[in-house]
């Protein structure tokens, strides 16, 4: 009974701490035991779509203006940006004959529940670093932006079906014949997080344990780090990071795979 009450108190404490997950809140009681991989984020478009060049040029200007770095520091606590900085990149495309199609509808696929990069606010809109960047792209292009929530593993399907024009996700997207990718705009890595005092001090300690993930990229990072450990763990999938940490606090799982760039919201 005491263990159940303790787990419940941990879970309630976590929910309280995350109730304002837009801010840079940190939680004690957790520690990183392994860095699983390194990766870079790119925007995805349909193969050959000129929108890729236009948005990439806009992002290069945003980087040159310092906004990309400032937003990264504001939301993530450090500058993880890596997009090439080029002033006048968009005008260079226009001078070369590219039409911006001002006023066109631009449907952007995003991933909610990934604070502080992107999450839904109380009014149902999207907030975070990625929506702020999309707003900056909108200002430069004059497009009418519409959001659509998607999963990382469905990027190709969503683009091919015309449901979205661009996937702007906090995830590394693999190159394929169906996609055109922008230059990388952000560096990231995946971390393995456990409860402090759990006795789990390294990746190999997770054998025959339960590991929480929130999307396919987390699972791929775990497999990349050690295939033998991956084969020996039970992977539980949760809809978002908050729910995964609730499970960790309650003892439903033994570890969580989390993106380094959002870790400031969840661990010290």
Give pLDDT tens digits for 176-200.
Answer: 999 999 999 999 999 999 999 999 9
Please determine, for residue 16, whether its predicted confidence score (pLDDT) is greater than 90. Answer: no
pLDDT value of position 28: 64
Q: How confident is the model at residue 115 (pLDDT cuts 50, 70, 90)?
A: confident
Of 184, 208, 225, the position where a domain reaches its end is: 184
Summarised one tens digit per residue, pLDDT across range 36-71 is 999 999 999 999 999 999 999 999 999 999 999 999
Q: Are residues 143 and 72 in the same domain?
A: yes
Residues 142 and 250 in one domain: no
Phi and psi (nearest 5°) for 3?
-65, -40
The predicted-structure confidence for 218-256, as pLDDT tens digits, reads as follows: 999 999 999 999 999 999 999 988 899 999 999 999 999
Domain end marker among 184, 212, 234:
184
Counting the structural domains of the chain, the total is 2
Out of 184, 213, 238, a domain closes at 184
Same-domain status, 54 and 180: yes
Q: What is the CATH number of the domain that holds 144?
A: 3.40.190
Question: In DSSP terms, which residues pair with 107 in a beta bridge?
Answer: 146
Which residues have C-beta within 8 Å of that of residue 220, sequence separation ≥ 6?
none
Query: What is the pLDDT at residue 21?
Result: 36
Does the CA dihedral 43-47-48-49 come out positive or negative? negative
51 and 155, same domain (yes or no): yes
Query: Distance (Å, rounded) from C-alpha 57 to C-alpha 17?
Result: 39
Residue 26 CB partners (closer than 8 Å, separation 6+): 264, 265, 266, 267, 268
User: What's the token pair of residue 121?
Assistant: 């606010």
Q: What single DSSP character describes residue 16? A: H
User: Is 247 found in the same domain as 135?
Assistant: no
Residues 193 and 180 in one domain: no
> Can you say whether the dihedral through the CA atoms of 61, 110, 266, 132 is positive or negative?
positive
Backbone angles phi, psi at 164, to 5 degrees: -135, 160
Are residues 219 and 171 located together in one domain of the fold? no
Q: Do 103 and 11 belong to one domain?
A: no
Q: Structure pTM?
A: 0.80
Task: Identify the domain containing residue 34 by its residue range.
Answer: 2-38+189-265
Place of tokens 């929480």: 212
Same domain, yes or no: 170 and 59: yes
């Amino acid at each position: 009974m005491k263990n159940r009450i303790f787990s419940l108190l941990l879970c309630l404490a976590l929910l309280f701490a995350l109730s304002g997950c837009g801010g840079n809140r940190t939680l004690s009681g957790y520690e990183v035991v392994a860095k699983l991989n390194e990766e870079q984020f790119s925007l995805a478009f349909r193969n050959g779509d000129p929108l890729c060049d236009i948005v990439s040029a806009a992002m290069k200007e945003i980087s040159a203006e310092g906004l990309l770095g400032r937003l990264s520091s504001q939301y993530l606590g450090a500058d993880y940006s890596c997009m090439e900085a080029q002033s006048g990149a968009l005008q260079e495309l226009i001078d070369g004959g590219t039409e911006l199609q001002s006023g066109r509808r631009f449907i952007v696929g995003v991933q909610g529940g990934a604070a502080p990069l992107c999450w839904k606010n109380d009014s149902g809109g999207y907030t975070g670093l990625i929506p702020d960047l999309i707003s900056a792209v909108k200002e430069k292009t004059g497009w009418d932006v519409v959001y659509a929530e998607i999963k990382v593993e469905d990027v190709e399907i969503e683009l091919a079906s015309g449901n979205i024009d661009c996937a702007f996700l906090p995830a590394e997207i693999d190159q394929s014949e169906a996609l055109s990718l922008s230059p990388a705009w952000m560096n990231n890595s995946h971390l393995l997080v456990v409860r402090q005092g759990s006795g789990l001090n390294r990746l190999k300690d997770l054998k025959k344990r339960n590991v929480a993930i929130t999307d396919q990229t987390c699972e791929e990072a775990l497999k990349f780090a050690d295939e033998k450990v991956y084969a020996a763990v039970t992977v539980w999938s949760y809809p978002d990071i908050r729910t995964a940490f609730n499970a960790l606090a309650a003892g439903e799982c033994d570890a969580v795979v989390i993106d380094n760039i959002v870790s400031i919201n969840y661990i010290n």
